[in-house]
Amino acid sequence: MSEVWLNGRYVAADEARIGIADRGFLLGDGAFETIRAETGRLRRWPRHRARLAGALGVLQIAPPDWVAVESAARRLAREHGEAAVVRITISRGEHGPGMTAPPGEPGTVLVTARAMAPAPRVLNAILVRDLRREPTSLATRFKLTQYADPLHARRQAASVGADMALMLSSSGHLSCADSASLFWIEAGGRVATPGADCAALNGTARGALMLACAEAGITLDEVKAGPDALQRAEAVFITNAVMGVVPVARVDDRSFDADHPMLARLSDMERAAE
């Protein structure tokens, strides 16, 4: 029987309980990180911890004991073999409904792990136009437990047989995928990705790949571009902490080269980057 770590205790997953007054359940008042673990090692743990700590600071939720959280995450990951997906979720805790809650109090801390499925070789996506990301939203800086818009975008993609949705900013510029960062390769090998002013979350895999490209002399620019930029692209791919680099074979009715020669190199660079 699998275990979880809930508020400092290991508990059987089917016995773990979170109270009905928890604001994470009632209002989505919390933040989380999803981390790839390999042989018990948490990939890019400093990046994930820093982003989650930043979210808790803004939300005014007391930070947990990070040493204990890391130890629990490693133990749970090892229970699922060589490759696992760890999720750390921290909510406001049991302070009930309404717009106000005491600031700076410890929250509910939940660590879970599951076996990691193989990443898909390619994905198909659609561009969703009726949901927009706002650059000033906290959701462009942190992974918040309020995830309604990306989930609705994914449902739209699934309804037409696509794997993932690409989203726009409030100004109509390319922003990100519903659960990943978006990149494309232009003629001449230039790589582009939407920037923060397009409401793009700085994913941990995204940040690591950008640094690796800079060190390798590969041009990777943060840009502000409309959907027409994809019409001119030679290849499109996404990254996230779990899957790494995955080519996008199609967006709506436009096909892309899922075997573009740069994709394998970029994938290897992301795998090696911290």
Which of 61, 52, 164, 60 lies closest to 111 in space, CA to CA?
Answer: 52
Residue 110, beta-bridge partner list: 6, 89
CB distance 84 to 116 below 8 Å: yes
Q: In whole angstroms, what is the distance from residue 84 CA to residue 79 CA?
A: 9
- pLDDT per residue, tens digit, the chain (274 aa), is 599 999 999 999 999 999 999 999 999 999 999 999 999 899 999 999 999 999 999 999 999 999 999 999 999 999 999 999 999 999 999 998 999 999 999 999 999 999 999 999 999 999 999 999 999 999 999 999 999 999 999 999 999 999 999 999 999 999 999 999 999 999 999 999 999 999 999 999 999 999 999 999 999 999 999 999 999 999 999 999 999 999 999 999 999 999 999 999 999 999 999 9
What pLDDT was estimated at residue 142? 97
What pLDDT was estimated at residue 1? 57
What pLDDT was estimated at residue 207? 97
Q: Which two tokens stand for residue 46?
A: 């400093």
Residue 108 vs residues 15, 59, 144, 188, 261: alpha-carbon distances, Å: 16, 13, 14, 49, 46
Domains of the chain with CATH codes: 3-115 (3.30.470.10), 123-272 (3.20.10.10)
Which of 82, 125, 90, 127 lies closest to 8 in space, CA to CA?
Answer: 90
Q: In whole angstroms, what is the distance from residue 263 CA to residue 249 CA?
A: 12
In this structure, the number of other CB atoms found within 10 A of the CB of residue 178 comes to 23
Tell me, yes or no, if the pTM score tops 0.75. yes
